[in-house]
Amino acid sequence: MREILLVKYGEIILKGLNRNKFEDMLVGNIRRAAGDEWIASVRKSQAIIYITPCEGRDIDALATRISKVFGIASITRAGVFEKDMDTILEKGSEYVVSFMDNVKTFKVEAKRSDKKFPYNSPEISRLMGGAILSKCHRLKVNVQEPDALVRVEIRDNEAYVFSDSAVIKGHGGMPVRSNGRATLLISGGIDSPVAGYMMAKRGVELEAVHFTSPPYTSELAKEKVVNLAKIIAQYTGGFTMYVVPFTEQQLAIRDNCPEEHLTIIMRRMMMKVTEKIAKKNKSMALITGESLGQVASQTIEALSVTNASTEMNVLRPLIGMDKEEIIQIARKIGTFETSILPYEDCCTVFVPKHPTTKPKLENILKSESKLDMDYWVNKALEDTEWIRIEAE
Amino acid sequence: MIYLDNSATTLIAPEVIEEMTSCMRECWGNPSSTHAVGREAGRVLKNARKCIAESLGVSEGEIYFTSGGTESDNIALLGAANIKKGKRVVTSSIEHDAVLKTMDYLEAMGFEVIKIDPEADGSIDPGKVIAAVDDKTCLVSVMHVNNETGAIIDIEKIAKGAKAKNARVLVHTDAVQSFGHIETKPYRMGVDLMSVSSHKIHGPKGVGALFVKSGINDLKKSVFGGGQEKNIRPGTENTFGIAGFAKAVTMIDLSENERIRNLREKMKSELLSLGKVHYNGCENASDYILNLSFEGVRSEVMLNALDSKGICVSSASACAGGKHKSYVLAAMKAKFADNAIRFSFSRYTTEEEIDKTIEAIKEIIKMFRR
């Protein structure tokens, strides 16, 4: 027996005239996530995407491959049957019953786009209901509040039978690339990968920038961030990560600026470097994992001073979230276990003993003037390397 | 690439690779099978056992193959700790985690575990171990050579003293870091159980051996299965690994020690002469391990900087996986534990490599010391 996947999408339905464009993006992203030689054909009809796998491909494996694509509300497995009523009833009922272990009541809804089919929809529903009851005696029909909704669809060339008890929930959101491009400042911590996930979920195409401080940070610390980026890429598809060696800059800040301003000046310099990379790549905003009040550099005063270092829009999707809420998402998307590996991060290499929590921009600018900011920003850009990140 | 992390693992000798691949091609049978293919594999196992027994000066029947040092330690300790014979177990606080974590388990099972702390130089005073042995002690386990400082511990003295106080005590030693580098003869040392590993002596990973002195028939079982290795370590034998292990054992050459000792001495004296460099260890140490602290440069910074120059060293035991805190140096109350680097050598280490490493360290200190 053959099976197909029915993909339902969420918010795209709300789109008016653009809907087609969004759907096409979603289909493109699904094809990319599945990989070559997994999907034989795709058909869109009435807000459902019908996906036929290539021959020999495991249907569950395909569902898993595409389940993280943003824009998908749910994925349902459906059995494909010959358009013969006896076959549909016999094989179709057996097929859906196999998904109804945890179900007590059900209801059947039939639909035929082929109006020449010798049975009409109410007849098909009634017959299928009877077939299911005879296959599984403990089940009962409940048309008001069924645990499972069984559907029979009679198409031009074949019939589909499926149950909503065989559904996989998607991550929702909007198709990646439907909402422009933004540049994520990614560290090895818990927050920034979650921030990247959240903006990508709103349809943003990501690129990422990561700062390293060898030899204060290790190769393993960098590999950890690459691995985090690969997890994000499971949702977003591949993207580019720029790796900026930042040791000399950090040493210059340490040697020239007041200790209590080290972190905030470092963050401002990082924003300036990232802004330049973003502009070069026609990215429209920066994304950070900042959360109000989490650490000294994320007080409202410190955020204002950091913000003043760039003229670009800075997206901070975690700004109003508690650490516990952020951790919950990190666990859900699979970055948490990697984030908590104990490698030193470039932000924790030179930490002032008493960092200023209420910086004033004029004071920071004064401290900064002891550095040749432009020189160090340009030097960082010269030394920057890029890595292509693909989902693993 | 300069590899000075041989206490973590060693490169596999080309001769060992040759032996293993030919064994994979020709002797892939199950040594327990009675047919021709099985018998062929059985002969591989028999030869390997003989070879390892000879190198330890024991009989073949006293060698049990395991998956490595950790499993040997586990089987030995879980087997020998017997609450009916006594609830006290004596060990040191600088053992490998394979011993320390098993001791934690024994403690949870109701044993009284006494851990002897090292002296400031990392050595273990045999007298302190012996003093902890009483008439309700069933087991003493102390490592032969410490994996972080290279301290050689006088197991012979410990075994003799412990047994003099309580004849029923079983003595185990983890000889993973000494086997192949110094003489490790269980009978001469007076131990009942000894763990050795293949991948520290240019053999493959995933294979090791446990010596159990003949006459000890009441080890408690901790692995259950089909009867292989006289039920001490059941499971189809890793014949390829065992063949490689045996080959590596035949290549042990203690006459290399003098050359390694000279390299270690050179490195130690040249680096100490830079100033603000401290030696973590004792005089009676393995020729193959050198632990130094570089004041003003944190371990991971030195490690990463050397890594970027193609020089592989380690800060603490590699098994601690990324965590740089050394409990061994902490137990020694070493003043510069956060600045410690372990260099560990092998018979493939050359003088040129040592010279290059010394030069690299000089540069790194100049750049990053503060």
Give the sign of the dihedral formed by CA A344, CA B305, CA A211, CA A264: positive
Give dist(CA A229, CA A388) in Å, integer: 10
Class of CATH domain B2-10+254-368? alpha beta
Of B305, B308, B322, the CB nearest to A220: B322
In whole angstroms, give the CA distance from residue B26 to residue B237.
16
Is residue B90 helix, strand or coil?
strand
Average pLDDT per consecutive 10 residues, chain B (370 residues; last block may be shorter): 97 98 96 96 97 97 98 98 94 98 98 98 98 97 97 98 97 98 97 98 98 95 94 96 98 97 98 97 97 94 95 73 74 92 97 98 90
In this chain, the answer to whether the domains covering A2-169 and A181-389 adopt an identical fold is no
Q: Which residues of A touch B (CB under 8 A)?
A: 214-220, 341-344
Size of interface A-B (CB pairs under 8 A): 29
Closest Cα in chain A, distance from residue B322 (Å): 7
The answer to whether B295 faces chain A, any CB pair under 8 Å, is: no
Rounded Cα–Cα distance for residues A71 and B184 (Å): 65
B158 phi and psi angles, rounded to 5 deg = -60, -45
Residue closest to B326 by CA, chosen among B124, B167, B93: B93
CA distance A252 to A374: 13
Residues 307 through 346 of chain B touching chain A, CB cutoff 8 Å: 307-308, 322-323
The residues with which A210 forms a beta bridge, in sequence order, are A243
DSSP codes joined into one string, A46-83: TTEEEEEEPTT--HHHHHHHHTT-TTEEEEEEEEEE-S
Which chain A residues touch B303 with a CB distance below 8 Å? 215, 218
Cβ contacts of B354-358, under 8 Å, gap ≥ 24: B354/B263, B354/B266, B354/B267, B356/B2, B356/B311, B357/B2, B357/B4, B357/B267, B357/B306, B357/B311, B357/B313, B358/B267, B358/B270, B358/B271
The residue ranges of every structural domain in chain A are: 2-169, 181-389
Query: Do A342 and B322 lie within an 8 Å CB cutoff?
Result: yes
| Domain range B14-250, CATH class | alpha beta
- Which pLDDT does position B323 carry in this prediction? 54
pLDDT value of residue B316:
65
Say if CB A269 and CB A373 are below 8 A apart. yes
Q: Check CB contact of B133 with chain A, cutoff 8 Å.
A: no
Nearest CA in chain B to A219: B304
Interchain pair B307, A219: CB under 8 A = yes
Question: Is 0.85 exceeded by the ipTM?
Answer: no
* Contact of A180 with A113, CB cutoff 8 Å: no
Give the model's pLDDT for residue B167.
96
Residue with tokens 């050198």: B290
User: Residues of B with CB below 8 A from A342's CB?
Assistant: 322-323
**pLDDT tens profile A206-220:** 999 999 999 999 999
Q: Do B322 and A343 touch (CB under 8 A)?
A: yes
Consecutive H or E run containing B55: helix B36-56
Using CA atoms, how far apart are residues A288 and A319, in angstroms rounded to an integer?
Answer: 9
User: Which of B300, B323, B364 faces A218 most closely, judged by CB atoms?
Assistant: B300
Q: What is the DSSP letter of B145?
A: B
Q: How far apart are CA A177 and CA A200, in angstroms?
A: 8
Q: Which of A214, A341, A342 shows the shortest C-beta gap to B304?
A: A214
Query: Across the interface, do A215 and B322 touch by the CB < 8 Å criterion?
Result: no
Give A105's strand partners: A140
Question: What residues of B are annotated to the active site?
Answer: 319
CB-based contact A219 B303, cutoff 8 Å: no
Contact A218 B307 (CB under 8 A): yes
DSSP code string of A225-279? HHHHHHHHHHHH--EEEEEEE-HHHHHHHHHHS-GGGHHHHHHHHHHHHHHHHHH
* pLDDT for the residue A18: 79
Q: How far B323 CA sits from the closest chain A CA (Å)?
A: 7
Q: For residue B295, give how far its alpha carbon lies from the nearest alpha carbon of chain A (Å).
A: 15
Cβ distance B300 to A219 less than 8 Å, yes or no, reads no
**Inter-residue contact A286 to A182 (CB < 8 Å):** yes
Those residues with Cβ within 8 angstroms of residue B363's Cβ, 6 or more apart along the chain or in another chain: none
Instruction: Check A218 against B303: CB less than 8 A apart.
Output: yes
- Residues A217, A348 contacting (CB under 8 angstroms): no
As a whole number of angstroms, the distance between CA B139 and CA B87 comes to 9
- Which of B305, B322, B323 faces A215 most closely, judged by CB atoms? B305
Among the listed residues B367, B297, B299, the one whose alpha carbon sits nearest the alpha carbon of residue A248: B367
Question: Cα(B44)–Cα(B277) distance, rounded to whole angstroms?
Answer: 49
Residue B320 pLDDT: 45
CA B307 to chain A, closest CA, distance in angstroms equals: 9
Nearest residue to B147 (alpha-carbon basis) of B279, B288, B357: B288
Contact check, Cβ <8 Å, B323/A218: no
Contacts B364 to A, Cβ<8 Å: 215
Measure in Å the smallest separation between the Cα of A192 and chain B Cα atoms: 22
Both structure tokens of B236: 């189809």
| pLDDT tens, per residue, chain A with 392 residues | 899 999 998 877 677 777 888 899 999 999 999 988 999 999 998 889 999 999 999 999 999 999 999 999 999 999 999 999 999 999 999 999 999 999 999 999 999 988 899 999 999 999 999 999 999 999 999 999 999 999 999 998 899 999 998 899 999 999 999 999 999 999 999 999 999 999 999 999 999 999 999 999 999 999 999 999 999 999 999 999 999 999 999 999 999 999 999 999 999 999 999 999 999 999 999 999 999 988 888 999 999 999 999 999 999 999 999 999 999 999 999 999 999 988 877 777 778 888 888 999 999 999 999 999 999 999 999 999 999 999 88
Give the pairing type, strands A205-212 and A39-45.
unpaired
Return the H-helix or E-strand segment holding A327. helix A323-333
User: Which DSSP symbol is given to B328?
Assistant: H
Interface test with chain A among B294, B300, B309, by most A beta carbons within 10 Å: B300
- What residue ranges do the domains of chain B occupy? 2-10+254-368, 14-250
B316, two tokens: 């603490």
Residue of A nearest to B298 (CA): A216
Residue B303 contacts A where some CB pair is shorter than 8 Å: yes
Tell which CATH architecture fits domain A2-169: 2-Layer Sandwich (3.30)
Write the residue in A215, A218, A342 that is nearest to B368 by C-beta: A215
Q: Look at B302 and A343 and tell me if their CB atoms are within 8 Å.
A: no
Q: Do B304 and A341 lie within an 8 Å CB cutoff?
A: no
Which residues on chain B are in Cβ contact (under 8 Å) with A215? Answer: 300-305, 307-308, 364, 368
A149 has which bridge partners? Answer: A107
B299 Cα to chain A: minimum distance (Å): 10
Q: Which of A212, A213, A216, A227 to mutate against chain B (most B CBs within 10 Å)?
A: A216
CA A253, A255, A261, A263: dihedral to nearest 10 degrees? 50
Using the Cβ of B300 and the Cβ atoms of chain A, whether some distance falls under 8 Å is answered with: yes
CATH architecture group of domain A181-389: 3-Layer(aba) Sandwich (3.40)
pTM, 2 dp? 0.86
Q: Do B307 and A342 touch (CB under 8 A)?
A: no
Supply A195's token pair: 């921030």
CA–CA distances in Å: residue B232 to residues A336, B72, B178, B221, B235: 40, 10, 24, 6, 10
Residue B192 CB burial class (10 angstroms; 0-12, 13-18, ≥19): buried
Phi, psi of B2 (to 5 degrees): -110, 120
The separation between CA B219 and the C-alpha centre of its own chain, rounded to angstroms, equals: 22
Cα(B127)–Cα(A205) distance, integer angstroms: 68
